[in-house]
Amino acid sequence: MRKRKPQYIVIGGGLAGLAATMKLCEDKAKVTLVSYQPVKRSHSVCAQGGINAAIDTKGEGDSPESHFYDTVKGGDFLAHQPLVRDMCYQAPAIIHLMDRLGVAFNRTPEGHLEFRRFGGTLYSRTAFAGSTTGQQLLYALDEQVRRYESEGQVKKLEWHEYLSAVLDSEGICRGAVLHDLRSGEIFTVKGDAVVLATGGPAQVYGKTTGSTVCNGAATTSAYLQGAKYANGEFIQVHPTAIPGQDKLRLMSESARGEGGRIWVSRKQNDNRDPLNIPEEERYYFLEENHPRFGNLVPRDVASREIHDIVYNQKLGIGGQPMVYLDLTHHSEGFLEHRLGGILDIYTKFTGDDPKKVPMKIFPAVHYSMGGIWTDYEDDGNGLIDHKSPRNQMTSIPGLYAAGECDYQFHGANRLGANSLLSCIYTGLMMGPGLIQYSRNLTSHVEEVSSTVFDQARDQWRGRMQAFKQMNGRENPYILHQELGEIMLANVLIVRENSRLAKALTQIDDLEIRFKDLQCPDTTHWSNPAPSMIQQLHCQIQLAKIITKGALIRNEFRGAHYKPEFDLNQPEDFDPHEYVEYNEKRQYGEIREDEFPPGHTSYMKRYEECNEKWLKTTIAEYQNNQPEISFEEVNTSLVQPRPRKYD
C-alpha cells in the first residue's frame, strides 16, 4: 500500500504561512495555500527595518540569552518564557537559512552579514536588507514555495477567502470553508489540519500602518467557532508613522537605529522652518529622558512620550499632532545606502526629502501582540519539544496558528525586528508537530462523513447570500470607518475606564446598525461587498474583545497604559533592587531601611500587581459577547522585574 501523504491547508501567504508551507513540503506533505491575493503581495512586504538574531559579529558580547531577556523584558514579562527562549536560540539559524535562500542582506566589508541597532536593546542585533527587509524575506520564501508549486506539492488558491474551519462531530478541525472571490463560489477543502497564518487585525482601527487585507476576520471566525483569543487588548502603537488620508505609513524604527533623532521645539506653536530652529531651542525629549537608550527606547515608551509631548505639553509641530524625526545630520550617501527605500516612501507621499529636512511623524496602530490562543509543549526545564503536535495548536484540535495572528511571543509589547523572526520561527517550528499530528490521527479526513462538509458549506452559502441581500440604509464602508474612529479615540495609547466603557456601548450601537446595512453591490462576479460585510461583522466582535480586555485589565503593562493604575516607579529605582529584594526575602525578613525610602513600598505594589495581573487574558465567545478569564504565564526562566529604560 502506498504511504498516505499528510495534507494541510495553510491560510495566508505571508512569512509565517510561506515558512510553514516550505517546511511541510520538505517533509513530503501536500499543501493547499489560500490567500486573498497573490501571496507575493502579502503584508509582510511592509516590514522595513530588519530581523533580530544575536549573532554577535561586533564583539559586543550579545547572546541568544540576552536576546531572550530583552524580548521578555520588552514585553513586560507577559510572554511564555520557554517559547520565547527557543525562538531566540533558533534565530541565528533562521538568519543563516534566509541568507542561503538568497535574501540580499546588507554585508560587512568582508562580505558577512551586517547588523544594526534597534529599539529595546543595547546590541547590534538586527540583520537587514536595505530598508525593505520584510519584502526581501517574503520574496525568498515565495520563491521556495513557487518551486514546490511547480513540482506539484503546493496548490495555491489565490483570490480566495477563508470563511471558517470545518469541525466534525467531535469538534476536530477537518478542513476549511473557502470563498472564491471571483466566481463567488463557496466550497470546502479537506485537510489533516488547518494553519491560520492570517496576520494582524489592523483594520479594526481603520487607518493604521496595516495593509488592507489585515482585517482579523479569520482569527475572529475561529473565535466565533469556540477558539480562545488571548491578550487582545495589547495593541502596539508604533511611534513613527507618516500621516495620510488612506493609511498611516510606517517610518521604520531603523531610521532611529541609524541615528535618527526625535525632537520638537521647546516653544509651543512654533511655526518656524525646522532648519531655522537653533540647537539650543530643540527639545530632544527621548534623549533627555532616557540617556542610555535615547531614541531607541521600546515602542510603547516612545509612543507614550510623543503622546505626552503633543497632548499634555502641547509642543507638537506648530501645535499639530506631529513631531520631528531628524536624519539630516547624516550624509546623503550614507542615508541612501542604509535607508534608501523608506526615505523614498516619505518623499513619494509628502514631497519632502528627509535627507534635507526633518520628517514629520506621529504614532499609529501597528501590531497586535495578542491573537488567537495557541499551545506549546516544553519538557518542564524550559526546553521546547519540537515534535509535539501541541505546538502552535489553537484550542480547536487540528486548527493551528502562526505569525502575527498568534499571541505567544511578544507579551505586552513587541520589540522592533522581532516580528519577522516570530513569523518565520513559528512557521518553521510548527512543521514537525503538524506532521506528528497527522500520524497520531486515529481517523483520517477521508473517513469523515461528507455531510459534515456539506453542512458547513451550505451554512456559509446561506450566510453570504444573506449579506448580499441586505437592503437597509447603512453603508458598510462608512460603518467600518466609524468603528475605526471609536477604537482610535478610546482604545489607544492612554486608556481610561470611563472611555473604554463608552467605547463598548458605541460598538454595541454599531452592531445594531450593522443589521440595517445595505450591500452596495449585488452582482455575481468579483464582487467584494459581501466579503467586506462578513469581515466587518468579525471586526465588530474583535473590537469587543480588545475593548473589554482593556476595560477589565486594571493595570499598566507594556502597551496597555492606564495612568490611573500606574505604580509610579521612583525615579532613582534600579530594577536589580527588586531581584535582590526577592532573594533576601527568601532568606528571611527584610529591614524597612534596607532599600531607599519609597522603594520597598513600590516593590510591594509591583508584587501585588503581578499577583493579580501577570496573566494571559482569555476571551471566549458566549452569548454574543467575549467572556474574559485569565491564565497563568510561564515565567519559570527569568524573574519578572520592573521595566526601566534609562
Partner 1 sequence: MPDDKTIHLKIKRQDQPDGKSYWEEFELPRKPRANVISCLMDIQMHPITREGKEVTPVVWECNCLEEVCGACTMVINGKVRQACTALVDALPQPIVLEPMSKFPLVRDLHVDRSRMFENLKKVKAWIHIDGTYDIGEGPVIPEKQRAKAYLLSECMTCGCCLEACPQFAKDNDFMGASTFSQVRLFNMHPTGAMEQEERLDAIMGEGGIADCGNAQVCVEVCPKKIPLTESIAEIGRETTLQLLKNLFLK
Q: Which residue has the cell 465567545?
A: 621
In the chain the first and final C-alpha atoms are separated, in Å, by: 65
Binds partner 1 (CB under 8 A): choice among 7, 126, 144, 392 = 144
Which residues from 419-438 bind partner 1, rule CB under 8 A? 428
Using the rule CB under 8 A, is 187 a contact of partner 1? Answer: no
From the CB of 195, what's the least distance to partner 1, in Å? 17
Which region, judged by CB under 8 A, interacts with partner 1, from 129-137, 262-270, 278-286, 293-301? Answer: 129-137
459-492: b or e for each residue (b if 16 or more CB lie within 10 Å)? ebbebbeebbebeeebebeebbebbbebbbebbb
Using the rule CB under 8 A, is 8 a contact of partner 1? Answer: no
Using the rule CB under 8 A, is 183 a contact of partner 1? Answer: no
From the CB of 467, what's the least distance to partner 1, in Å? 15
Minimum CB distance to partner 1 smaller for 334 or for 477: 477
Using the rule CB under 8 A, is 15 a contact of partner 1? Answer: no
Please tell me the distance from the alpha carbon of residue 358 to that of residue 529, in angstroms, as a whole number.
41
* 439 a catalytic residue: no
Using the rule CB under 8 A, is 108 a contact of partner 1? Answer: yes
Catalytic residue, from 116, 125, 249, 299: name it.
299
SS3 187: strand
Minimum CB distance to partner 1 smaller for 183 or for 451: 183
**Best CA proximity match to 630, nearest among 555, 580, 566, 578:** 555
From the CB of 89, what's the least distance to partner 1, in Å? 11
Minimum CB distance to partner 1 smaller for 95 or for 227: 95
What are the angstrom distances between the C-alpha of 413 and each of 77, 161, 272? Answer: 9, 30, 36
Number of residues that bind partner 1 (CB under 8 A): 72
The residues that bridge with 14 in the sheet, in sequence order, are none
Which residues from 21-50 bind partner 1, rule CB under 8 A? 22-23, 26, 37-38, 40-43, 45-46
Minimum CB distance to partner 1 smaller for 150 or for 623: 150
Please tell me the distance from the alpha carbon of residue 456 to that of residue 442, in angstroms, as a whole number.
22
Minimum CB distance to partner 1 smaller for 298 or for 427: 427
What are the angstrom distances between the C-alpha of 401 and each of 43, 137, 197, 639? Answer: 17, 20, 6, 28
The H-assigned helical ranges of 469-589 are 476-490, 497-514, 529-552, 575-586
Q: 3-state DSSP helix/strand/coil percent for the chain, to nearest 5?
A: 40, 20, 40
Binds partner 1 (CB under 8 A): choice among 102, 462, 563, 596 = 102
**Best CA proximity match to 424, nearest among 20, 10, 12:** 20
Q: Which residue has the cell 461528507?
A: 450
Binds partner 1 (CB under 8 A): choice among 271, 481, 568, 624 = 481
Contact 424, 15 (CB under 8 A): yes
Q: Which amino acid is at 451?
A: T
Minimum CB distance to partner 1 smaller for 135 or for 418: 135
Binds partner 1 (CB under 8 A): choice among 3, 169, 246, 622 = 246
Which residues from 355-414 bind partner 1, rule CB under 8 A? none
> What is the per-residue binding string for partner 1 in 190-219, x denoting contact by CB under 8 A?
---------------------xxx------
Minimum CB distance to partner 1 smaller for 23 or for 290: 23
Which residues from 327-346 bind partner 1, rule CB under 8 A? 337, 341, 345
Minimum CB distance to partner 1 smaller for 184 or for 259: 184
Please tell me the distance from the alpha carbon of residue 544 to that of residue 220, in angstroms, as a whole number.
11
586-599: b or e for each residue (b if 16 or more CB lie within 10 Å)? eeeeeeeeebeeeb
Q: Which amino acid is at 317?
A: I
Which residues from 541-600 bind partner 1, rule CB under 8 A? none
> What is the per-residue binding string for partner 1 in 149-168, x denoting contact by CB under 8 A?
xx------------------
Pairing of strands 186-190, 261-265: unpaired
Using the rule CB under 8 A, is 352 a contact of partner 1? Answer: no
Using the rule CB under 8 A, is 459 a contact of partner 1? Answer: no
From the CB of 517, what's the least distance to partner 1, in Å? 13
Binds partner 1 (CB under 8 A): choice among 60, 65, 101, 511 = 101
The residues that bridge with 23 in the sheet, in sequence order, are none
SS3 611: helix
- Cell numbers at residue 351, please? 514631497
Binds partner 1 (CB under 8 A): choice among 4, 182, 356, 585 = 182
Please tell me the distance from the alpha carbon of residue 243 to that of residue 207, in angstroms, as a whole number.
9
From the CB of 356, what's the least distance to partner 1, in Å? 19
Contact 549, 617 (CB under 8 A): yes
Using the rule CB under 8 A, is 58 a contact of partner 1? Answer: no
Binds partner 1 (CB under 8 A): choice among 63, 96, 569, 579 = 96
Residues labelled as active-site residues: 299
